[in-house]
Amino acid sequence: MLRSLFIVALSCVTLASVPFCAEAQALKGIVWETPESTAAAIRDLRAMKEAGVEVIRTGPLVDSALLTEADSLGLVFYREIPILDTPARTLTDSMALVRRGLEHILDAGRNHTSAGPIGLAVTIDVSRRDVCSFFDLLRSSVTASDQRFYYVSRFIESDTCTSSVDFVILDAVGYSDPQHLISRWRSSQSSEVGIIIGKRIEVDSDSGLQEPFSEESQARFYESSLTQLNDSAGVKIIFIHRWRDQPVDQYDRSYGLHGIGPNKSDHQRLSLGVVRGIFTGTQTVFAFNGDASVSAPSVWFTMLGWLLILIVAALYTSSPRFRDMTPRYFMAHGFYRNAVREAREVLPIVSTALLTVAGLATGMIATQILLAVHETAAFMYMVRLAPDTVQSTITVLLDSPLVATIFIGSISLLAMTLWMGLWMIVAGQRPPLLPSQALMLAVWPRWQLLLMLPVAMAIATLEPGAEQTGFLLLYPVWAGVSLWAGARTAYDIFKLTNCSPLIAVIGLLLHPSVLLLMSVLAIMAAQGDHVLHVLHLVFRS
């Protein structure tokens, strides 16, 4: 008996490919967008087969020619209903349309072995239980008992709909450690799980492993991630995002194993060789060029920040009246206000310089916050809801942070100038408010920006995850400072001009920051479902 057990154990060690001796490996998948040309699509399918791909995640594919070709190649399509980041109420309202789309997909896949599981939705808010009923109703309309369903999710611990489908696929595109997401899933959920991994490159990036968005870095990411995930228990499918660069991407990012080369020719990236080697089992260790010179990190933010601080320091040391007024502002604000009322110490040149510094500091902080959050799921969802002109503007600003700083700073300066002009009109003749007085009263309360600027510069040097957290914490402080500065200015002008309290309140409500806040609140009230989805993406995913 012992001898028999020993022989069985030895067989399992030496014949690891035998199904009952070794746990089945994860299915090898790729994300693919069907080309317009059927011939090009068939070429892609054959190339994917040669690369070791077994399953293909795609859209609502119904082309019988492609299904037949995939049948002959032994490939399986994971076709998805095009429901992306849709709020719960919209799901319910579109149920009839979704059912027709599902029936169309099912009809096209009949008698095709390549017609595999169907994705019911992509990255919708499965942290809400009412979404689960949407999946249940869709499944109840399908008569085939062997048809399997899934959805793509960004939610892990808060996912409430796992029992409504056969398995879940996690969207880990852009995550540097997809294995961590699998570990979180295994510790909080019991259903089968797959994962989509992807790392973007920058087409104009220098080569070498030291460059974070080079082809070499992308290839190394796939080498390490695929090795870890293949060794991880419980991963049903691993999808690579994606076979080719997406024709239209929100930020013109490139994820594909294939790109566009010179003269629009096909360019096979280094990551294709890695994926092919690991998927086919012919190679698991790879060497890449790591000796390329590392491009110097951009220092414009730090340089500009210190330049602004030095400008303020130079103004302070070169202007005796500036040095005299500064302690009055903080320790004897009434005397400061009297000096401004009598126009004895209005410092127009200093205040103009401070206004410029405040505008650029606002632009710098806003740009860094934008860069920190622009690839988060919540921000990208909000961008998709915006008009095309807003989307294109954001893309341009992200491509050139210095331009974004100047653009946002200029808007801030213009808004403050208009607000000061409004106060001059409102104040009227009781007594009249001079431009130099309005300028000083509006700019000086924004002194906190000089303290926030070094903090922002320090946060910008942190690792990406810590940087994002730091700027997200800095944002409410920055917003609070802006609102407080508006209130301080409104109160000072109220005391200086003896205008009525109602006029002062109206002036405060017309402050650019207050107008922006009210606009955001109005949009939130009108777009409640979308706002709830964004909040869930921030706090639950």
| C-alpha span between 402 and 356 (Å, rounded) | 16
- Per-residue pLDDT at 353: 92
Classified as helix, coil or strand, 15 is: coil
pLDDT reading at 297 higher than 70: no
Q: At 58, which helix (H) or strand (E)?
A: strand 55-58
CB 305 within 8 A of CB 453: yes
Out of 155-159, 170-174, 276-280, 530-534, least confident range? 530-534
Q: Where do the structural domains in the chain lie, given as residue ranges?
A: 24-280, 300-539
pLDDT band at 10 (very low <50, low <70, confident <90, very high): very low
Determine the pLDDT at residue 433.
75
The residue among 333, 353, 526 whose CA lies nearest residue 439 is: 353
What's the mean pLDDT when you consider all of the chain? 86
Which pLDDT score is estimated for 294? 52
- Paired with 115 in beta bridges are 77
Between 336 and 232, whose confidence is greater?
336
The DSSP call for residue 175 is -
Say whether pLDDT at 291 is over 60: no
Contact present, 139 and 133 (Cβ < 8 Å): no
Domain 24-280 belongs in CATH node 3.40.50.300? no
